[in-house]
Amino acid sequence: MRRSLILAVTAALAATGSAVYIASSASAAAACAPAWSASAVYVKDNSVSYQAKNYTAKWWTQNEVPTASGQWGVWADQGACGGTTTPPTTPPPTTTPPTTPPPPTTPPPTTPPPTTPPPVSGLPKHALIGYLHSSFANGSGYLRMADVPADWDIINLAFGEPTTATSGDIRFTLCPAAECPGVESEADFISAIRAKRAAGKKVLLSIGGANGQVQLTTTAARDKFVSSVSAIIDKYGLDGVDVDFEGHSLSLNTGDTDFKNPTTPVIVNLIAALKSLKARYGANFVLTMAPETFFVQLGYQYYGSGPWGGQDPRAGSYLPVIYAMRNDLTVLHVQDYNSGSIMGLDNQYHSMGGADFHIAMTDMMLAGFPVAGNTANMFPALREDQVAFGAPSSVSAGNGYVAPAGVQQAVTCLVKGSNCGGYTVRSGTNPNFRGLMTWSINWDKFYNWEFRTSHESFLNGLG
């Protein structure tokens, strides 16, 4: 999150398009669906037939043989069919991708999404998530915890910051009265958090922000991070943490090219620290993340410094953290603002400020994508209930403000597959899409609660 506006980096990469075959949707009839084709692209709920059986795709796939799918694979066995199509009995060999292929027209996630069931989070099906300026003033006005409206389902306390960039020692204090007139006492703040939690709300410590660079370069910093964050959680009675590492907090060392097996200390130590916190607090620990697009979706084109060096080493650097924590992650809400143009799964550049950007960026998290265009190195889709997107609550909150109608158009497209404009969603319909995050609750109040009043009833009406 930004206390002030920042400049974002715009990536540029030329890519060529290719035709994509989309199979027909599933049918309840016993007749055989169109024969499976190794060269065809299938998305969620598409049906095919193979060796006298019908199968339905669970997510995006290409060249994955239905009979090899298994219980946890992409294809769901729908039973025998009586059609006359004769599919091949042996799939064509898979073509080995070049070392640095351009991003494909659509991504083949050969690694399935997490197979663990969604945890019991206590969140509503569609949540409203916001950041509360608790430790600083920035012109939007201070808001006491007790005065935060009940519509906010997750309240992220901004921010816990380190004593130095590499210490791992995270501190959180309420905004000084000289900066924030009307700030409550610490005892009242803790009491209000307790009341929010009793009402079913989640209150998290958001760590980092624009000014809080956190680099866990050593195991000592890792351990200090765990102990200091735990102390804050225990003192204030919080539900968990939000990881809002920005700037130069995360980057990848040269040669660290496999997001599934990272070797860079700041990445490895952060993953270990988050796993330690999860182990300490158990199943009810809430973990959210708020990366910028540069650190996530840009990974479709670039990952770290690249195979020969020279690229920005921060590109895609959140991906190994998200992947490692995928079974413990409650919500990922990428900041769809303060961003340069980013290439989507259609190999077109998308720019912030409209529904299209929210749709294209979020579809990447719901469909999965090849990292740096390498189809042998797939970032798998997250569960629907783990995905939200972030939007500024007002024009003062950040670059890329979208009026409520545009935000709701994007959500409707992602949830129901309708009103998507010119973008074709790869992830299909996502009825369990988690919801909306905004920076910030304070700025929303400053602008007469436009974000909250527009979107809370809308989210509740999605069913």
The catalytic residue positions are 246
Burial class (CB in 10 A: 0-12, 13-18, 19+), 253: middle
Amino acid at 181: P
Q: Does 249 sit behind a cis peptide bond, omega within 30 degrees of 0 on the bond before it?
A: no
Question: Terminus-to-terminus CA distance in the chain, angstroms?
Answer: 30
